[in-house]
Amino acid sequence: MASVHESLYFNPMMTNGVVHANVFGVKDWVTPYKITVLMLLDEMTISTSITLLDRRRLNKLILPLLQSPDMTLSQLIKTVEDSCPQLAYTVHLRLQLMADGELKDMEHFFDMLPSPFNETESEAHKTSVVGLFMRHMVLAYNKLSFSQVYKLYTALQQYYQSYERKDSPAAEPAEDTDMELTNTEELGGKMEKEELDLEPSDDEVSTRGPLSQKQAEYFLAQQAYLLKNDENKALDPAALQKELNNMLKFNPDFAEAHYLSYLNSMRVQDIFNSTDSLLHYFDRLILPGGDSKSNGDEGCGRSLRYAALNLAALHCRFGHYEQAELALQEAIRIAQESNDHVCLQHCLSWLYLLEQMKGSDSTLTEHAVKMAVHFCLPYLASLGIQSLVQQGAVGGKTANKLMDALKDTDLLHWKHSLSELIDISIAQKTAIWRMYGKSTMALQQAQVLLSMNSLEPVNLGVQQNNSEAFAVALCHLSELHAEQGLFAAASEILKHLRERFPPHSQHAKLWMLCDQKIQFDRAMNDGKYHMADSLVVGIAALSKTEGLYRKALVLKAQNQTTEAYKVLQRLLLYCEKIKGTEMTIRVMLSLAELHWSSSCHAVALPLLLRSLAVSREYHLQYLASECILHLAFSQLMLGIPEQALNILHMAIEPILAHGALLDKGRAMLLVAKCQIVTASSEPSKQQKTQALEVAVQNLEEAGTYFTKVDCKERVRDIYYLQARLYHSLGKTAERNKCAMLFRQHNQELPSQGVPLITRL
Amino acid sequence: MAALSSQFADLVEIKKQLTVIIALCRERGLMHSVKWASELAFALDPLPMNELPPPPPFTEEDAQDLDAYSLAKSFFDLKEYDRAAYFLRGCRSQKAYFLYMYSRYLSGEKKKDDETVDSLGPLEKGQVKNESLRELRVELSKKHKARELDGFGLYLYGVVLRKLDLLKEAIDVFVEATHCLPLHWGAWLELCNLVENKEMLKSMSFPDTWMKDFFLAHIYTEMQMIEEALQKYQSLINVGFSKSTYIISQIAVAYHNIRDIDKALSMFNELREQDPYRIENMDTFSNLLYVRTMKPELSYLAHNLCDIDKYRVETCCVIGNYYSLRSQHEKAALYFQRALKLNPRCLGAWTLMGHEYMEMKNTSAAIQAYRHAIEVNKRDYRAWYGLGQTYEILKMPFYCLYYYRRAHQLRPNDSRMLVALGECYEKLNQLVEATKCYWRAYSVGDVERMALVKLAKLHEQLNESDHPAQCYVIYIKEIFECGELMEQVELSTAFRYLGQYYFKNKQYDDASICAQRCCNYNDAREEGKSLLRQISQVRGQGETSSSDLSLPFIFGPLSAKNTPVRRMSPLNLSSVTP
């Protein structure tokens, strides 16, 4: 199970998982676009003829209009027209009057403007968003110098004229670009073509008005939010970088843009640029702290600590664990020197995470969690608990304790509305249930996560749903579906994953591995070992142990026993070293199977017993049933079918309830085999016939399971067994039918695998 | 490299050409080119009366435009560009046309500067554009296509293109301009700013004139290819430009760049003698004086410059340096700020201001200043180095690695960055990396001579016995070769270690030499004596070796015979993270 909380990177713009751009205070100025918006607002207050529905639509429109980057007039008019055509016309008219008139008109407009808001109780209260905007504008206008006022007016005229020019000769292009108007963040990308150039110029120049501080901040916050929650909806990396570079070119002090550029570079795995941007950000960042010596020092020191911490995070993301550790040590040292316990807690979490990634087993103590609670860091505290739970799950703690702990953290999450952690918690539950082998519970938890409404306000039409938790849950879901033979559904889920987590993104590896594993299983079932072999390389690239294991499976299937044995032995040693319990058990089972193929059933027994003991110790119920299945088979081969049947009863129930189709089939087949063998020792003929008929039924059931997962070889073998049984029962017609089916299948596939009898 | 154009044989011809181009440029108001050419011409012998070149040919068109031209030129000289352009519209002669376009360009630039003060907000500041550039470009490109532009016209077209950030096109046009009118220094100078690296330079074709040599020497200086630049300048001097202040100043700057302080100082002194009222390059001079802590000279220079013109960037920098040397860092920072007010793109001032803030322990302000410097020029290694130092002071050795690495990338052969990198690695306890850095620092020529000692100490820490000895031997040899006995502490440690080392290896002769040397230093005297005693004891027990302890101090036998001097190729500094 991949660690569920890799997304724990500290972002100074973020508190409790919400990204805020720094608020610098009022930095806004008048542009022609804003004058037009003012006119619109003015009209809205004056006009009485707007219907209620229109008014509601307009009200909804106002906030995006105030926050978005400046639009061209045609875009603006179009937007307003969608809500209230009549108002758009009035605004257009007023602007035309002003633009065709004199400077006086504009001055008059601003003179008149405040009156509706100050005198009486009007719709726009002084401190409301609209009221503030208007007051900002009036203030900014009054501050303008003589030449600036004139400049503004000429800008207004140009603004209007460019619209007129665009509108009158050809309406088509204008309409063409307006198609996407509903998509607010797209507007940023719109560029107005340079009109001044008489010749068509080859260089594209954005003449979009400069962003005001406010607009820039809004843009950054929006993009950062999108990056965090739904990367696909954010601007694509190149466009975003271009926008940021543009912004930074004109205002290099705009530190937040550097941070976003860092995040953006991380998207495309560009270590060079991301390091550069990150360091630049912290160089530029002066945390508000005032000029006084102690205070300023504190601010500076704080940013230093987090700078080192972020650098550590960066190296960690790129897999440079040694560098990350050095940076982290630095952060810890500085934090210790200045007694910053909060920062230290962050460092501790990272340290733990780093150790985990490096593969060494470190333990996050409960003490750390308690400290986090003490310093009011619920985020860290519950992350700590979740890590502890994960450790406990792998280390074989009992389920009730784990679930109890998770319940406690859930309480914490809901209390502090840490929706991200709630997601992680559910994903973790999914994983734990899956590990225990309760596929139904896992399925249910995954569905809960997917259909849950996020706590976070749905911003910009984006649910927070591209966290790792979602990826994990979806991967489990697709694997679970594949296990049940619902390959179409599984691939549908994978397709969705591919869309949501494009291959370059951080969590893409999860679904890639999952995808390959499913393909591998299908190829193995189908007997296409060469195909499976080619997939092994891909799997090994994503997960070393998994790759080795699959390699061994292929070798085993191809009867290269010695090589398979070598690989498995190596893997076993490795897994025992890293304490990968699940994999250890699987490897032991495979080793036992290898022993069977060389007919050393007695040798396999101690291995199987050991694996059974281990899986019971770690409460891995499904693997335990699997072990029992293997044990039973060994017993059958050793000639004690009664005993085999006895212990099979233990395993058959969980397998039928939770198991994969393949395992169900194998279990039923084994039952049938045992029944056949025991039937031969039945005293009376009638009992014997009865037993055989039951066996035939079981075989039938196993057959249907195998068909569902395209296990042709096994299906063939089933037909063979059935034919033999029918023969001994004297049912000729059925026998012939089965024989024919067997022959059909046999012609299709070359018989090469292990003969049925020596295989589970 | 030293081969100059064959045209240098005829200095009279060159002088004539210079005289012509001075007149041409002056007519067109290109004052910087006039200044450069005049400076050169002044360095050559005056021409006799009959050799003076005839004034440029006067065409029919020129005659027609004469009145408009003279009127406009007077306006132009008085910086009334729009007015000049107005009276020049419709003129057809090349000269008038150039002045017409040039005044329009300058008018746009002037308005742009004025607008910047008046702009609406911080984010808009950079977006103030020279509005006339686009029109100029359109008109000039039409003319260019029709091949109607002369050398000056091409130059102006190039400038417009560069201002529009169309650098590739600009370079092509400038190259064309140099072919068309090789004598115009302005075009060459623009190319100097546009050519980024050696490969680019090699790929371009230039007219084969004597101007090319000046250009190459200049651009070599810019690209830090100092050896080549110095050779070029030396041969130019040999040819007959020995009096040129331009060349002297360039050589001085070149020496400054390779930190050959003495030579640079002497060049600057010569320059000051020849051209006492010169302000250009004096900030570089003051840097040198600062490094040498020559307080009286710096003070004199500062006062002198202040008398000449106190509102020049260079003057402010010199005064800043002066205050910095007197440890009045607040005042120094103030003067650097003033320099920046005069020219916000003045790179040196930002860096120097960063240094001042560092002195004042105001790290965040220092970081800001350095960042500004990098903003102006990404290739400013001093700013990167300064940032590294700042973070080192803040005790963030890992964090500052990145900055030192950037500085090292820009100056791969500067030992200071390498030593700084080594120190950081040492602090991070990555001793192997650190040794690599120190060794490389030594290999590229260590300025401060500390790399070897540090290397030796590192090897000691790594518990290697031979390597430190080698390092110490090389170190001692180097110190004695230079004849400087400044770093006595390190010398004594070196001798102390070597004495013990030879004693351990039973090379008693060498050991006793070292022990004797130890006795010369206060802090190692006791140890030296005790070692001598030990040696004599051992000798008394063992064979009586014929030791003549009166060896004069030459480390020849010591290093050549017994100590394997490490001949290692300079290691690559493996950059662990980019």
For the segment B552-563, what is each residue's pLDDT rounded down to a tens digit? 444 444 443 444
Give pLDDT, residue B76. Answer: 92
Give pLDDT, residue A10. Answer: 33
What integer is the mean pLDDT of B384-388? 92
What integer is the mean pLDDT of B75-80? 91
| Contact yes or no for B105/B127 (Cβ under 8 A) | no
Chains A and B form CB pairs within 8 A to the count of 106
Tens digits of per-residue pLDDT, A613-650?
988 888 888 888 889 989 888 888 888 888 888 888 88
What integer is the mean pLDDT of B244-270? 89
Percent of chain A having pLDDT more than 70? 81
| Contact yes or no for A237/A504 (Cβ under 8 A) | no
pLDDT over 60 (residue A33): yes
Identity at A676, one-letter amino acid code: I
Residue B522 burial (10 A CB sphere; 0-12, 13-18, 19+): exposed
**B144 or B538: whose pLDDT is higher?**
B144
Among A99-103, A365-369, B298-302, name the most confident range: B298-302
CA distance B71 to chain A (A): 30
pLDDT over 50 (residue B494): yes
Q: Cα(first)–Cα(last) distance of chain A, in Å?
A: 28
Decide if B118 touches A, using CB distance below 8 A: yes
Tens digits of per-residue pLDDT, B156-191?
999 999 888 888 889 999 999 999 888 899 999 888
How many Cα atoms occupy the beta-carbon half-sphere of B112 within 13 Å? 15
**A418 or B359: whose pLDDT is higher?**
B359
Give pLDDT, residue B522. Answer: 73
CA distance A62 to chain B (A): 24
Percent of chain B having pLDDT more than 90? 16
Least-confidence region, from A198-207, A509-518, B121-130, B528-537? A198-207
Least-confidence region, from A225-239, A647-661, B382-396? A225-239
Chain B residues with beta carbon closer than 8 angstroms to that of A271:
577-578
Whose CA is closest to A193, among A219, A215, A174?
A174
Rounded to whole angstroms, how far apart are CA atoms B364 and A295? 13
pLDDT over 90 (residue A653): no
| Contact yes or no for A601/A617 (Cβ under 8 A) | no
Identity at B509, one-letter amino acid code: D
Interface touch A320/B576, C-beta < 8 Å: yes
CA distances, A188 to each of A33, A39, A88, A459, B407 (Å): 14, 22, 22, 17, 37
How many Cα atoms occupy the beta-carbon half-sphere of A693 within 13 Å? 8
Interface touch B126/A250, C-beta < 8 Å: yes
Torsion sign, CA atoms A94, A96, A99, A104: negative
**How many angstroms from the chain centroid is the CA of residue A501?**
6
Tokens at residue B264, please? 């640079």
Whose CA is closest to A184, among A90, A73, A66, A87?
A66
Give pLDDT, residue A365. Answer: 66
What integer is the mean pLDDT of A476-498? 89
Helix (H, G, I), strand (E, B) or coil at A462: strand
Helices A439-451 and A641-658, packing angle to 10 deg:
10
What integer is the mean pLDDT of B421-427? 89
Rounded to whole angstroms, how far apart are CA atoms A590 and A582? 13
Give pLDDT, residue A185. Answer: 36
| ipTM of the complex model | 0.72
Q: How confident is the model at residue A751 (pLDDT cuts 50, 70, 90)?
A: low
pLDDT over 80 (residue A320): yes
Question: In a mutagenesis test of the A interface, which of B165, B396, B430 is the best target, namely the one with the most A β-carbons within 10 Å?
Answer: B396
CA distances, A78 to each of A118, A159, A574 (Å): 31, 15, 66
What integer is the mean pLDDT of A451-461? 61
Rounded to whole angstroms, how far apart are CA atoms A25 and A12? 18
Helix (H, G, I), strand (E, B) or coil at A733: helix
Give the length of chain A: 760
Tokens at residue A589, please? 């089972």
Give pLDDT, residue B551. Answer: 41
Whose CA is closest to A613, among A388, A390, A396, A389?
A396
What integer is the mean pLDDT of A360-372? 68
Name which of A203, A213, A271 is nearest B578 (Cβ-Cβ): A271
Give pLDDT, residue A759. Answer: 67
Phi then psi for residue B540, to 5 deg, are -60, -40
Q: Which residues contact A106 (CB under 8 A, 6 or more apart)?
A: A35, A98, A149, A152, A153, A156
Question: In a mutagenesis test of the B interface, which of A300, A309, A316, A347 is the best target, namely the one with the most B β-carbons within 10 Å?
Answer: A300
Give pLDDT, residue B320. Answer: 92
Least-confidence region, from A46-50, A94-98, A409-413, B139-143? A46-50
pLDDT over 90 (residue B567): no
Q: How confident is the model at residue A463 (pLDDT cuts 50, 70, 90)?
A: low
Q: How confident is the model at residue A360 (pLDDT cuts 50, 70, 90)?
A: low
Give pLDDT, residue A49. Answer: 76
Rounded to whole angstroms, how far apart are CA atoms A107 and A223? 37
Question: In a mutagenesis test of the B interface, which of A284, A328, A330, A334 is the best target, namely the one with the most B β-carbons within 10 Å?
Answer: A330
Q: Residue A537: how many CB atoms within 10 A of its CB?
A: 12
Decide if B561 touches A, using CB distance below 8 A: no
Identity at A440, one-letter amino acid code: T
Decide if B387 touches A, using CB distance below 8 A: yes
Tens digits of per-residue pLDDT, A520-538?
988 888 878 888 888 998 8
- Cβ burial B12-28 (10 Å sphere, 16+ → b, else e): eebbbbbbbbbebbebb
**B577 or A62: whose pLDDT is higher?**
A62
Decide if A252 touches B, using CB distance below 8 A: yes
| Contact yes or no for A639/A602 (Cβ under 8 A) | no
Helix (H, G, I), strand (E, B) or coil at A458: coil
Rounded to whole angstroms, how far apart are CA atoms B9 and B513? 60
pLDDT over 70 (residue A226): yes
Give pLDDT, residue B318. Answer: 92
Q: How confident is the model at residue A485 (pLDDT cuts 50, 70, 90)?
A: confident
pLDDT over 80 (residue A172): no
Tokens at residue A754, please? 């292990």
Least-confidence region, from A2-6, A48-52, A536-540? A2-6
Tens digits of per-residue pLDDT, A239-285?
888 888 877 776 666 778 888 888 888 888 888 888 888 888 888 77
Per the DSSP assignment, residues forming a β-bridge with A19 are A14
CA distance A327 to chain B (A): 6
Name which of B127, B387, B396 is nearest A334 (Cβ-Cβ): B396
**B106 or A417: whose pLDDT is higher?**
B106
Rounded to whole angstroms, how far apart are CA atoms A391 and A368? 15
What integer is the mean pLDDT of B303-309? 91
Tokens at residue A572, please? 């076993």
What integer is the mean pLDDT of A544-571? 88
What integer is the mean pLDDT of A325-331? 88
Tokens at residue A737, please? 């039918």
Give pLDDT, residue A458. Answer: 54
Decide if A334 touches B, using CB distance below 8 A: yes
Helices B381-393 and B363-376, packing angle to 10 deg:
160
What integer is the mean pLDDT of A438-463? 73
Which position has the token pair 């003589």?
A: A146
Least-confidence region, from A274-283, A379-388, B209-218, B536-545? B536-545
Decide if A288 touches B, using CB distance below 8 A: no
The chain-wide mean pLDDT, for chain B, equals: 81
Phi then psi for residue B566, to 5 deg, are -70, 120
CA distance A144 to chain B (A): 8
pLDDT over 90 (residue B75): yes
CA closest to B129 among chain A residues: A207
Least-confidence region, from A349-358, A540-549, A722-731, B430-439? A349-358
pLDDT over 50 (residue B344): yes
pLDDT over 60 (residue A496): yes
pLDDT over 70 (residue B515): yes
Give pLDDT, residue A191. Answer: 35
